[in-house]
Structure 1
Amino acid sequence: MDNLKHLLNKRIHVKITPEICLDGIFTDIGDGIVVVFDGQRYLYIPLVHVHKIKLSKSNEEISEPNGFLLTKQTESISYHTILTNAKMLFIEIHVLGNQSLYGYITDVLNDYFVFYSPIYKTMYISLDHLKWLTPCNQNITPYTLNKEFLPVRPSITIASASWKAQLKKLENNFVVFDMGEGSDKIGLLKKIENNLIELIAANGETIHLNLTHIKSVHVP
């Protein structure tokens, strides 16, 4: 991390995926995470997804960083503390493709977190696949829903400590992986063994998926 500190408070260009690049002021760095202010919001980006960081060539003005932070100025940050500090706050997260999810982190476990989305309800998201998160305006609610329509509370079901163990608890349930990206990501989760998922599709076909590459799961 020390070899990036000379870029702090400078305008940088960050490549996260071949399709996602961000420009902004590099405001902080910690264990497994970097923070960039893009002129409107703070983006918390796990280092595992940073392909490249360099000084930006953009001449577009960016205002001085302001807005809602997930840390105190004196706090040393890490990927885990950012997720913990974001619990029960209205946030936007980016997990796959060009889709953003809006909602609330309700629990943070060893290698995944539990996320409540008004659209998908309770979701389980692998820490390995979160591209970035940003806090939203805390004076509004997702889709301007009244709070009585947002049952944001920890599930009465105790979440397992690990991603694999949590998914094994969903065996013999209908599941949607990766928000249904592709027809082979929806079906009956038959079993998980040796990091391979056995999924039964609607037409009865058996599909085997690599658990390592699954980004999110929810039960419809």
Structure 2
Amino acid sequence: MQILKSWLGTHVELMLSGCIELQGEIIDVGNDILVLYDNNRYAYIPIHHLQFLKAAQKDNEEQMKPPAPSFEHENISYRKILMNARGLFSEISVGDKTLHGYVTSIMNDYLTFYSPLQRTVYVSVNHIKYIVPYHSNVTPFSLGLENFPIQPASMPLSRTLDQQLRKLEKQIVILNLDGKPHRAGLLKRVEHNLIELVQAEGSTIVVHTDHIKTIHSIQA
């Protein structure tokens, strides 16, 4: 990653897939991830979502030295960041949607995320645009942990998202955190990376699992 390492210490503007624009200073680079620092936040960005980056002008205000991140960056990788983020209040972006809560489990190609708003959400690892872990003293909505106990998924977890989807058959699910009617319904069947979803009025649509960013069940 010598190309990206040559940008270390540079204030940049970058575009991620899903039309997400970010600005900040590149402070670290791994084989599959880069770290952007801006406004007291460390954003960990999987490199495969990077569409382009370019140098950007800093604000006129004097830039202070970044505080220590939540965890060490030695031999940094996307998988290690996800593992280190478990139990820390975090923000994750899955395109046009942002979740705030906690990574509770990490499987082969998805993770479980516990949010005070959506409760348990299954998130495709390949669709996470960035993750921002906060320090251990930060909680969502400034709630005390006694008022917001982190609850693991009630359903046993499978190794892959496709297998987990099969466990959600016959349940009402919401895909991609999208309130549109064609993204919510009864998960009728999963077969060969395709799912059948029965909508409220009874019609059936077919969705390819590659395009599922998040899924959660109202029963989870």
Common fold, TM-score beyond 0.5? yes
- 8 Å contact 1:95–1:215 — kept in the other structure? yes
Match of 2:86 in 1: 87
Q: Secondary structure at the match of 1:168?
A: helix
**Contact kept in structure 1, 2:17 and 2:95, CA below 8 Å:** no
TM normalised by structure 2 equals: 0.91
**2:177 partner SS:** helix
Out of 200, 203, 215, the position equivalent to 1:202 is 200
Unpaired runs of 5+ residues, structure 1, are none
- Equivalent-residue separation in structure 1 for 2:141 and 2:59 (angstroms): 34
Provide closer, same or farther for how the CA distance between residues 158 and 214 of structure 1 changes in structure 2, counting only shifts above 3 A.
same
Question: Could you tell me which amino acid in structure 2 is paired with residue 127 of structure 1?
Answer: V
Counterparts of 1:102-141 in structure 2, within 5 Å, are 102-141=100-139
- Alpha-carbon separation, structure 2, partners of 1:62 and 1:117: 36
Partner of 1:27: 27
Q: 1:37 corresponds to which letter in structure 2?
A: Y
Of the three residues 173, 177, 185, the one matched with 2:175 is: 177
Instruction: Report the Cα distance in structure 2 between the residues aligned to 1:70 and 1:46, rounded to whole angstroms.
Output: 18
Contact 1:96-1:178 within 8 A present in 2 as well = no
Question: Which residue number corresponds to residue 5 of structure 1?
Answer: 5
Cα deviation per residue 1:135-164 (whole Å; 9 max; x = unaligned)? 235323212223233231433533111111
Residue of structure 2 equivalent to 1:41: 41
More deviation in 155-164 or 171-180? 155-164
1:2 to 1:41, Cα distance in 2 relative to 1, 3 A:
same
* Residue identity in the other structure for 1:42: Y
Quote the Cα distance in structure 2 between the aligned partners of 1:215 and 1:62. Answer: 39
Contact 1:45/1:131, CA 8 A, preserved across alignment: yes
Q: Which residue of structure 1 aligns with residue 191 of structure 2?
A: 193
Q: Is the 8 A contact 1:41 1:67 kept in 2?
A: no
Q: Distance in 1 between matches of 2:61 and 2:111?
A: 36
- In 2, distance between residues paired with 1:129 and 1:172? 25
| Offset at residue 60 of structure 1 (A) | 4.2
| Range 11-20 or range 56-65, more displaced | 56-65
Q: 2:70, 2:135 within 8 Å by CA — same for their partners in 1? A: no
C-alpha distance in 1, partners of 2:199/2:61? 50
Answer with 156-165 or 198-207: which moved more. Answer: 156-165
Q: CA deviation at 1:181?
A: 4.0
Aligned mates of 1:65, 1:189 — CA distance in 2: 50
Q: CA RMSD in A?
A: 1.8
Amino-acid identity (%): 38
Aligned residues: 218
Q: Which letter maps to 2:76?
A: I
Length-normalised TM-score, structure 1: 0.91
Give the partner amino acid of 2:11: R
Segments of 4+ moved more than 4 angstroms: 58-62
Amino acid at match of 1:46: P
Unaligned 5+ residue runs, structure 2? none
Instruction: Write out per-residue CA displacement over residues 74-114 of structure 1, whole angstroms, 9 at most, x where no aligned residue.
Output: x11111000000001001111131x3211000011111110
Aligned-partner SS, 1:197: strand
Distance 1:60 1:95, change over 3 A: farther
Label 1:26 to 1:53 Cα distance change in 2 as closer, same or farther (>3 A): same
